[in-house]
A = this chain, B = another copy of it.
Amino acid sequence: MPVTIRDVAERLKLSITTVSRALDGYDDVAEDTRQRVIQVALEMGYVPNRAARQLRKQRTETIGYILPTSTPRFSDPFFSEFISGLGDEVAKNNYDLLISTAEPGEDTERLVYQRWVHGHRVDGYILNRMRLRDWRVQYLAQMNVPFVTFERTLDAADYPSIEINGQAGIKTLVDYLVKQGHQRIAYIGASSDLAIQADRYSGFRQGLHEAGLLLQQELVIESDLTRQGGLRAAQKLLSLSNPPTAVVCINDLTAIGVIQAASELGLLVSRDIAIAGFDGIEDAEHTQPPLTTLNQPIYEIAREIVKLLLAEIKGEPLAERHIQLQPELILRASTG
């Protein structure tokens, strides 16, 4: 039922070859013919069939992103903003964005990637929430599939990436807290195999070190990047005989959980305890009190990642393959 190139050709009494080339802008077709072709194609509402084109050209003009859905009922404002950035930039370049979901680390995640790679479903991949050693990097590099990551891993492969300098960011934050007079500063992180954990935690340690403070193991807790996790971790911290006066969190959701825990215990955040997060999600502006955080421009990062990936796919050389951005410290009332 849809209009094919053959229909257009017949109407014009031309060969499909000529029509194809006229539309693709080859220069070996008479200008006059081209105009007629374009005109008629438009009139007839002709749009090339993607599948046929893909089959013939051996590329999909589609990029893939697999959502790391840590929980079944999963809701993280980071991702809606990230996807929105990906979607906008991809559309701008006339590509498609294919999305799937998979629990990180599970076998299903591996299956999803394998199916897409083997089926040549997309031309390139966008990865985030990287592990320090990430089989996805190894796998895609080995399969010779273009991909770009948000956050870097320790894997040896050569791939373009964007990362936020969490280390420097957290160090600045710790520095600030120390200047505010804090001595007992806690850190709520995440699984140690996550790239952001390595990055941000090392910033925390360095910050303490430069301030001449000792790292107290009881003040360091591993959590899971969720609000609920932050809540539980904070309950542990605050029930210590000598609780911290400040808490640095690996992300905003965790910090929001900590604020809740503190409030539930009757503490006044900022007077009794300082709390800070990382990400700069919108929610962080609206906690009570508003949350001090290190902001990363997620939407813009997502768009930039797509640009990198498209260049990589097309084999265009990149001026910068490893972009590092500095997070911006946003001081709000939660740290006094």
Contact = CB atoms under 8 A, between A and B. Distances in A.
Nearest to A230: B286
A84 B55 contact: no
B74 A81 contact: yes
A256 B99 contact: no
Interface stretch (A118-126, A235-243, A319-327): A118-126
Contact of A55 (B49, B96, B257, B286): B49
A293 to B, nearest CB: 14
A54 interface: yes
Contact of A101 (B69, B91, B115): B91
Interface string A150-172: 00000000000000000000000
Interface residues of A, number: 56
A49 B119 contact: yes
A314 interface: no
A112 interface: yes
A79 B77 CA distance: 9
A48 B98 contact: no
A118 to B, nearest CB: 4
Contact of A99 (B99, B115, B119): B99
Count of chain copies: 2
A262 to B, nearest CB: 11
A120 B84 contact: no
Given A76-B77, A96-B100, A99-B87, A60 B51 contact: yes
B299 A286 contact: no
Tell me which of A75, A91, A98, A114 has the highest count of chain B C-beta atoms within 10 A of its own C-beta: A75
Contact of A299 (B3, B45, B73, B88): B73
Given A84-B69, A286-B256, A299-B72, A47 B99 contact: no
Contact of A227 (B80, B88, B286): B286
11 contacts: A2-B118, A51-B54, A51-B60, A67-B83, A69-B88, A75-B78, A75-B282, A76-B77, A91-B112, A96-B98, A98-B99
Given A47-B119, A50-B119, A97-B99, 19 more contacts: A46-B118, A47-B120, A48-B119, A49-B120, A50-B51, A51-B51, A67-B84, A73-B81, A74-B81, A76-B77, A80-B83, A83-B99, A87-B100, A88-B101, A97-B98, A97-B100, A98-B98, A227-B286, A283-B283
